Copies of this chain bind each other. A is one copy, B any other.
Amino acid sequence: MKKITTWSTLIWLCIFMLHSCSPSIAESTPRFPYSVIRPESLSVLTENELYETKYFTQILDHFNYHPESYQTFQQRYLINDKYWDGSQKKAPIFVYTGNEGDIEWFAQNTGFMFETAPKFKALLVFTEHRFYGKSIPFGGDKKVAYSNSSTLGYLSSTQALADYASLIIDLKKNLTAEDSPVIVLGGSYGGMLAAWFRLKYPHVAIGALASSSPILNFDDIVSPYSFNNIITEDFKSVSENCYKVIKGSWSEIENTAQQKGGLESLRNSFKICKNYIDVNSLKGWLNTAFVYTAMTDYPTPSNFLNHLPAHPVKQMCNAIDDPMAGNNTFAKLYGAANIYYNYTGNATCFNLNDNSDPHDLGGWQWQACTEMILLTEGNNEESIFPASQWNYTDRASNCNTDYGVEPRRHWITTEFGGHDIKMVLKRFGSNIIFFNGLRDPWSGGGVLKSISKSLIAIVAKEGAHHVDLRFSTKDDPEWLKDVRKKEIKIISNWLTKYYHDLSQLAM
């Protein structure tokens, strides 16, 4: 597979959810100059107590009946029954609908489930998405599974949803827990899956908490500029100067690079390791820092994508606005990048040629080339990034080069809807919470207004990417505590109604 080399094409590949997104050009051995991501310290349980690992024999292709469709693979799921009140009590089951990566990582970053399980006496299950982590079709051999479009062809959102339905139904049957209500939860792409799961499989899940799920970021439903507009606002809201410095830096970098010795000068300014540098990679590296810091602009220190301090956007702007840095744009930018890439202070240089993928997120590139045509790349004149238009043709052409596939541009809205969602779901469907934090660039594609009494939007002005699902900390602000309280109350109501209906029907 050919690697992506230009800056603009790089962004769409790495931008979605949780990628290790430093530019990567196939050359020399990858290193880990900045700290390897580790699970956040767990406030409730030790890591070993969090869950047991199990496997489910999953069918390769739910929707067709070719001989190959009948192949199976081992799908991993994590389970914790420590708090569960059991099937006889019809105690609930909370299922995390896994995203595009190693499910352990998501589980370890979804403290909300561990912390609410005791209250609900809930069984916890985390299902891994096919083609990620240890849930690899074709005998578990990732090299085979990822070798070409004939094998990767089975990596799709509809297959993943059907996997979850099959697994949950089987699990409930095995536990004689058919009457235990299931709530699905997920963040980011996992949140999209949770919302869609409730809509498509209401007979399996009675409700969904879809956190930071940009289900409207497709087709022409929302503006392709919304994503970067929000990042722009994030920085602007902290400091107008900070925004201006970043906005002005791109041409300065470009100009410097074109001068003789310019690249070496940039290398020195940004402490880039000696193995590789080019201007697009450098710009991509900086872009990643701004995008992901905006996404994870949490009010407390975190270690989700990288180790970060509380309010990291503010910290970045502090570095940029620091009078000590004088008028040197690159020194300012370096200070900002250092917040994202080197908060622990361990890095000696930064590797622009880092292919590491500690959370096994590589399959997203395929998903972004087939169905996940999320529109995020537009930059208007005000953008903190250089102005650019969203260009479908570029995407299609790159995907054709990389995989020989053509994106199905309109498939997600054909299958899951999204257009006129208020109209469509006003009198259809129930029991979904759409949480969005407005500092999260993905909130531009989220459901920000309640649709009906039971399709409820919760919006946190100060919130970032699925902050509600994270482990609580003693320093959590009131608004975050309130969000979680609201969510718990709504889920309680769903369960109360469920048990009420069940008792009524039994009469």
Residues of chain A whose beta carbon lies under 8 Å from any beta carbon of chain B: 59, 61-67, 69-70, 149-150, 152-156, 158-159, 162, 165-166, 169, 199-204, 366, 370-371, 404-406, 408, 410-411, 413-431, 454, 497, 501-502, 505
Q: How far is the CA of A158 from the CA of B501 in the complex (A)?
A: 30
Choose from B418, B419, B505 the contact partner of A423 (Cβ within 8 Å).
B505
Please state the number of chain copies in the assembly: 2
B429 in contact with A66 (CB, 8 Å)? no
A429 in contact with B150 (CB, 8 Å)? no
Q: How far is the CA of A63 from the CA of B411 in the complex (A)?
A: 9
B159 in contact with A405 (CB, 8 Å)? no
The smallest C-beta distance from A505 to any residue of chain B, in angstroms, reads 6
Q: How far is the CA of A423 from the CA of B404 in the complex (A)?
A: 46
B414 in contact with A169 (CB, 8 Å)? yes
Contacts of A153 in B (CB 8 A): 64-67, 69
Choose from B152, B162, B165 the contact partner of A65 (Cβ within 8 Å).
B152
Q: How far is the CA of A425 from the CA of B400 in the complex (A)?
A: 43
B202 in contact with A417 (CB, 8 Å)? yes
Contacts of A204 in B (CB 8 A): 417
A165 in contact with B427 (CB, 8 Å)? no
A405 in contact with B64 (CB, 8 Å)? no
The smallest C-beta distance from A80 to any residue of chain B, in angstroms, reads 25
Contacts A69-B153, A153-B65, A429-B428 known; A203 to B158 CB distance under 8 Å?
A: no
B65 in contact with A423 (CB, 8 Å)? no
Q: How far is the CA of A162 from the CA of B411 in the complex (A)?
A: 10
B65 in contact with A415 (CB, 8 Å)? no
B505 in contact with A422 (CB, 8 Å)? yes
Contacts of A67 in B (CB 8 A): 149-150, 153, 404
A159 in contact with B63 (CB, 8 Å)? yes
**A–B complex contacts, Cβ < 8 Å, 20 sampled:** A61-B64, A62-B158, A63-B63, A64-B64, A64-B154, A65-B149, A65-B152, A65-B153, A65-B156, A69-B153, A70-B405, A165-B415, A169-B410, A169-B414, A203-B417, A203-B420, A203-B421, A423-B501, A428-B431, A429-B429
